Amino acid sequence: MPESSLRVFSLNVNGDLRKVKAAADTPLLWILRDELQLTGTKYGCGVGVCGACTVHENGSAVRSCQITVSSAAGRAFTTIEGLGAKTDQLHLHLHSCQQAWIDEDVAQCGFCQPGMIMEAAALLSKHSRPTDADIDATMSQHVCRCGTYQRIRQAIHRAAEMQSAKPSTGTKTGGKS
């Protein structure tokens, strides 16, 4: 057996330091899904055109299928599982976007929605009251084959209202270091 080409990489995911042994060119997407069992981040296209694999780095939305694990090493990411504030081992607070998604009954098949929510949460952290044009510009990077766009738009406006009403809760989007 030749010497392994796999290396150990350390990265911060949802506030936890995680070590993984992987090929250097492995996309972060597959590290999250296959190695860390964080399957809320979805594989939709692998080429950065559907948005299903969106996660956060420092509160900004990034495509985990376009980041290799070697470049991700030493950086901190938040996935859909870590978006809500953790209160204890078993209970999660929902992020305002997650709550707004439920309130507006957005999801149909639901597969794209974790990526949509991560994008929307990042948008709201930069634009506290986005216009429809802001929403269109940002969210058009994502695909929903069930066509839930109208409800996503409403949910983003609702989440913006929730955040401005309660600025201190549920807005944490970045990973803990």
Partner 1 sequence: MKVTRRTFLRESSRAAAGLVVGFQLGIPGAASTLAKSTRRAAISADPESAAEFAPNAFIRIGTDNVVRLWATRSEMGEGVRTVLPMVLADELGADWEKIVIEQAAMEPRFKGIRLRTSGSGSAAGTWRPLRKAAATAREMLISAAADKWGVSAESCRAEQGSVVHAESGRRLTFGELADAASRVPVPASPKLKDKKDFRLIGTRVKRRDGQAIVSGAAVYGQDIHVPGMLYAVIARCPYLGGKLVSFDPAPAMKVEGVKYVVPVRSGFATGVAVVAVNNWAAIKGRAALLPVWDKGPNANFDSDSFTREMERALDQPGFALRRDGDAPAALAASKKKMEALYEYPFQAHAPLETMNCTAHVREGSCEIWVPTQAPEAAQQDAAKLLGIPEDAVKVNVTLLGGGFGRRLQTDYVPEAVEISKTVGAPVQVMWTRDDDMKYGFFHPAKLERLRAGLDEQGLPVAWHHQSSGPHLSLLGPTAEEKKNPNYFADDGMLWGSFDNPYNFAHHWADYTLVESPVPTGPWRAVMYPSTVFARESFLDEIAHAGKLDPIELRLRLLQPGDMLDLKATVINRARLIAVLKTVADKSGWAATQGSTTAHEENGRLWGRGVACNVYDGDCYVAMVAEVSVSKNLSDYKIERVVSVIDCGLALNPLGLEAQTESAIAWGMTAVLGGKINFKNAQAQEHSFADFKVPRMSDAPRVETHIIQGADAPGGFGETAVPTVAPAIANAIFAATGKRMRRLPITAEKMRLA
> Footprint of partner 1 on this chain (CB under 8 A)?
4-6, 22-23, 25-27, 30, 33-35, 37-47, 49-50, 52, 79-81, 84, 86, 89-94, 97-98, 101-102, 105-114, 117, 135-137, 139-153
Output 73 or 92, the one with its CB closest to partner 1: 92
Least gap, CB of 23 to partner 1 (angstroms): 6
Least gap, CB of 4 to partner 1 (angstroms): 6
Least gap, CB of 106 to partner 1 (angstroms): 8
Output 136 or 161, the one with its CB closest to partner 1: 136
Compute the 3-state secondary structure of the chain and give helix, strand, coil in percent, each to the nearest 5: 35, 15, 45
Output 75 or 92, the one with its CB closest to partner 1: 92
Question: What distance in Å separates the CA atoms of residue 95 and residue 76, rounded to the nearest whole number?
Answer: 19
Edge-to-edge strands, sheet with 7-13: 16-22, 7-13, 76-77
- Segment (H or E) for 63: strand 60-63
Opening angle at CA 161, ends 152 and 172, nearest 5: 85
For 15-25, letters b (16+ CB in 10 Å) and e give eeebebebeee
Question: What distance in Å separates the CA atoms of residue 123 and residue 139, rounded to the nearest whole number?
Answer: 9
Least gap, CB of 53 to partner 1 (angstroms): 11
Least gap, CB of 97 to partner 1 (angstroms): 8
Output 76 or 84, the one with its CB closest to partner 1: 84
